[in-house]
Amino acid sequence: MRLYLASTSPARRALLAQTGIEPVLVAPGVDEDAAVDAARAELGRELTGPELVGLLAVAKADAVADARIAGSAVDGFVFGGDSAFEVDGVLHGKPHDPEVAKERWRQMLAAGGGTLWSGHCVVDRRLDRGADTAADAATDRTGGAGRAGTVPPVRRVDAPGGGPLGIAGHLGDVAPGGSTLVAAGDHVVAVDSAVLTFAEDVSLDEIDAYVATGEPLEVAGAFTIDGRAAAYITRIDGAPSAVVGLSLPVLRSMLLRGFGVAWHDLWAL
């Protein structure tokens, strides 16, 4: 069973590969700033962390789900993801500029940490799926073995009722460190989050040296836990993979609870 990754992120691909899944990488070509600006203008307010990452995850997945890859229609599941780091109520994306990255790090260290929001969208584009939809499967799936409450149930919703945010408008409030999943038609959308704590003794020289490597410039929050910044993070409350850009346990639950598909069905054997 094929998984299309609406991203060219090496980190997301590596996460999936280490679990036995070899995705088809496709650049979604979404104007993220325009999408966020349009939603913000229609809502008349700033987007919350869950709303922002959910909106962009859906936009990326939809862009690939309706595309033709090498002249053929998509046949499988399409995953779109997005991340943002929230510090003291302010959302941070990719800094791009070294001076912006340094200032972000000063703010993050002053606050002691923050919340990484990770948005997920899976679209079912299996050509042989018949009449089954994510919503139908979600009604029957309550999840597998494990502690009760570790993953929230999939809620069935009507996509048009989400307002300017579409399906992402149904995500609701998500507490830092929590997650939520909703299903509408052939879409399942989720937000996972992790609360990070930074070391108290990181110096300005260390910040300068880290930014000089260029690693933090094109990643949400200006850091990576699978790179040089790992030494500056002392605690993660939540799925570590969510901080990398794709919560593996939540993606597994989306597939199982939303579509009745087992994780191992996607393994490249």
Which of helix, strand or coil describes residue 91? strand
Domains of the chain: total? 1
Q: Are 210 and 229 in contact (CB under 8 A)?
A: yes
In this prediction, what percent of the chain has a pLDDT beyond 70?
91
CA neighbor of 133 nearest in space, from 73, 188, 206:
188
Does residue 163 register a pLDDT over 50? yes
In a domain, 97, yes or no: no
Residue 147 reports pLDDT greater than 90 = no
Q: What is the mean pLDDT of residues 83-112?
A: 94
* Amino acid at site 87: V
Of residues 131 and 65, the one with the higher pLDDT is 65
Catalytic residues: 82
- The total of other beta-carbon atoms located within 10 Å of residue 5's CB is 27
Instruction: Supply the range of the domain harboring residue 139.
Output: 3-88+115-193+239-266
Tokens representing residue 67 in the block: 């595309």
Q: Where is average pLDDT lowest: 28-32, 133-137, 156-160?
A: 133-137
Range of lowest pLDDT (47-51, 90-94, 134-138, 189-193) = 134-138
Let me know if residue 63 belongs to a domain.
Answer: yes
